[in-house]
Structure 1
Amino acid sequence: MVSLSWHVDNPLTGKDSWDVSDTTVVASVLSGGANHQKFLGWLDKVADFMNSLTTDKGVKVPVLFRPWHEHSGSWFWWGQNLCTAAQYKALWKMTYDRMQEKGVNNLLYAYSPGTEPQTVEEYLERYPGNDIIDLVGFDTYQFERQKYIDQLNKSLTILTEVGKKLGKPIAITETGFETIPDATWWTETLLPVISQYPISYVLVWRNAREKDNHYYAPYPGQVSAPDFVKFYQNSKTLFVRDIKKLYD
Structure 2
Amino acid sequence: MTRALKSILLGIAALAVGTHAVPCQGPRTYQAEDAVLTGTHIDTAQPGYTGSGYVTGFDQSSDKITFKINSPSTRLYDLSIRVAAIYGEKRTTVVLNGASSSEVYFPASDSFITVSGGQVLLNEGANTLDIVSNWGWYLIDSITLTPSAPRAAHNINPNPVNPAANADAKALYNYLKSIYGKKILSGQQELSWANWISQQTGKTPALVSVDLMDYSPSRVERGTVGTAVEEAIQHHERGGIVSVLWHWNAPTGLYDTEENRWWSGFYTRATDFDVEQALSSTTNANYTLIIRDIDAIAVQLKRLQDAGVPVLFRPLHEAEGGWFWWGAKGPEPCKKLWNLLYDRLTNYHQLNNLLWVWNSILPEWYPGDDTVDILSADVYAQGNGLVELGQDKKMIAATEVGAAPLPDLLQAYQVHWLWFAVWSDGFINNAEWNSLETLQTIYNHDYVLTLDEIQGWRNSA
Counterpart in 2 of 1:106?
Answer: 353
Contact 1:10 1:25 in 2 (8 A): no
Aligned pairs (5 A) from 1:66-215: 66-79=314-327, 82-100=328-346, 101-113=348-360, 123-143=362-382, 145=383, 149=385, 156=386, 159=387, 161-163=388-390, 165=391, 167-177=393-403, 190-195=406-411, 196-207=414-425, 214-215=426-427
* 1:3 corresponds to 2:219: no
What TM-score, normalized by structure 2, do the two folds share?
0.40
Letter aligned with residue 108 of structure 1: L
3-state secondary structure, aligned to 2:356: strand
Q: Which has the higher contact order (CA 8 A, sep 6+)?
A: 2
* 2:298 pairs with one of 47, 58, 67: 47
CA distance in 1, matches of 2:441, 2:333: 45
Letter aligned with residue 358 of structure 2: Y
Deviation at 1:245, TM superposition (A): 7.1
Runs of at least 5 residues in structure 2 that lack an aligned partner in the other structure: 1-240, 255-261
What TM-score, normalized by structure 1, do the two folds share?
0.72
Cα-to-partner distance string for 1:113-166 (whole Å, 9 max, x where unaligned) = 2xxx5xxxxx221111111111001012135x4xx84xxxxxx3xx2x334x05
CA distance in 1, matches of 2:356, 2:326: 17
Contact 1:12 1:25 in 2 (8 A): no
3-state secondary structure, aligned to 1:108: strand
For residues 48 and 225 of structure 1, do their structure 2 counterparts lie closer, same or farther at Cα, with a shift above 3 Å needed? same
CA distance in 2, matches of 1:217, 1:203: 13
Aligned pairs (5 A) from 1:21-40: 25-30=274-279, 32=281, 33-40=284-291
Counterpart in 2 of 1:233?
Answer: 444
Contact 2:322 2:329 in 1 (8 A): no
3-state secondary structure, aligned to 2:299: helix
CA distance in 1, matches of 2:429, 2:419: 15
CA distance in 2, matches of 1:231, 1:90: 39
* 1:19 pairs with one of 254, 257, 268: 268
Contact 1:218 1:228 in 2 (8 A): no
CA distance in 1, matches of 2:417, 2:308: 26
For residues 226 and 11 of structure 1, do their structure 2 counterparts lie closer, same or farther at Cα, with a shift above 3 Å needed? same
CA distance in 2, matches of 1:77, 1:22: 8
Per mean C-alpha deviation after superposition, the further-off stretch among 101-110 and 225-234 is 225-234
Contact 1:24 1:83 in 2 (8 A): no
* 1:60 corresponds to 2:308: yes
Deviation at 1:23, TM superposition (A): 7.1
Counterpart in 2 of 1:182?
Answer: none
For residues 166 and 20 of structure 1, do their structure 2 counterparts lie closer, same or farther at Cα, with a shift above 3 Å needed? farther
Deviation at 1:191, TM superposition (A): 3.0
Deviation at 1:217, TM superposition (A): 5.3
Letter aligned with residue 445 of structure 2: N
Runs of at least 5 residues in structure 1 that lack an aligned partner in the other structure: 118-122, 150-155, 178-185, 208-213
Letter aligned with residue 406 of structure 2: L
Cα-to-partner distance string for 1:154-193 (whole Å, 9 max, x where unaligned) = xx3xx2x334x0511101111014xxxxxxxx5xx63344
For residues 23 and 139 of structure 1, do their structure 2 counterparts lie closer, same or farther at Cα, with a shift above 3 Å needed? same
3-state secondary structure, aligned to 1:38: helix
Q: How many residues were matched structurally?
A: 204
For residues 193 and 75 of structure 1, do their structure 2 counterparts lie closer, same or farther at Cα, with a shift above 3 Å needed? farther
CA distance in 1, matches of 2:389, 2:287: 32
3-state secondary structure, aligned to 2:371: coil
CA distance in 1, matches of 2:398, 2:332: 25
Q: Is the radius of gyration larger for structure 1 or structure 2?
A: 2
3-state secondary structure, aligned to 1:173: strand
CA RMSD of aligned residues (A): 2.8
Contact 2:377 2:398 in 1 (8 A): yes
Per mean C-alpha deviation after superposition, the further-off stretch among 62-71 and 238-247 is 238-247
CA distance in 2, matches of 1:35, 1:50: 23
3-state secondary structure, aligned to 1:11: coil
CA distance in 1, matches of 2:367, 2:245: 17
